Amino acid sequence: EAQRNLETDNERKETLRQLKNNKKKRRRRRNRNKDKKDKTGAPTMTNPKAPTKAPTSGPPSGGASKLALGWRPWSCWQYETKKRDWCATRRGGTSNLEIQDCDDDDIDKWTFNKVGTSNYVTIRHEKQDLCWTKSGTSLLLKSCVKNSAAQEWDLDSSYKSHTNLYEEDDQAGDHLFEIQPAHSQKDCVTQNHHPKGGEKLSAQPCATSRKLGHQTNYWEKV
């Protein structure tokens, strides 16, 4: 098992090295093309008042949707390189939340409801008056309560691990976000390690789920 883990780590490092080299090649090509255009004598267009980037936190647009763990090409979950979609859903008739295959018929959908003028949201069941609620480190479904701090979440897309390996429009783009308790933003909603079906969700230190060996800190609408 130790040898297998070592081989997998080496494969991940080699993949990251190749991605870095590919980005350097793309940058060199862009620079060469830019030099060619400059030599034609065509004027260079500039926009000194270009709009600033949109805020990195706030509710995603659209209606109810499934929520899946955000996979990246280097995630290597369960030592696999193919993409798997694991969605947040209610565990049977309990108040717990877990991950299951997004293609399952009974996967729940969620809506994001802005809290006042803040960037925080509540995450509500599509069909029931039940909201994601932080209780200690546990993540539970409870009746939605107005102005409940335990039900307020920050959808934070500002942490971009390893995105320097990709162009802005590649798979590590802004559609991914962390789900952090609004009043404990050192924590992230995760199942905390290589995902598999049936694992419970909880609020754990972001530092753990962000590690290259886990990469389960991000979520996306699917």
Name the nearest CA neighbour of 22 among 172, 161, 167.
Answer: 167
Query: pTM, whole model, 2 decimals?
Result: 0.68
Specify the length of the chain in residues: 222
Tokens describing residue 186: 């050192």
Name the strand (E) or helix (H) holding 27: helix 2-39
Q: Are the C-beta atoms of residues 68 and 219 closer than 8 Å to each other?
A: yes
CA pair distance 9, 60, nearest whole angstrom: 34
CATH number of the domain encompassing residue 165: 2.80.10.50
Structural domain includes residue 56: no
- pLDDT tens, position by position, 167-215: 343 444 457 899 999 999 899 999 877 888 899 999 999 988 887 666 7
Q: Tell me: do 24 and 125 sit in the same domain.
A: no
Q: Are the C-beta atoms of residues 98 and 110 closer than 8 Å to each other?
A: no
- Count of domains for the chain: 2
Range of the domain at 43: 1-47
- pLDDT tens, position by position, 112-145: 999 999 989 999 999 999 999 999 999 999 999 9
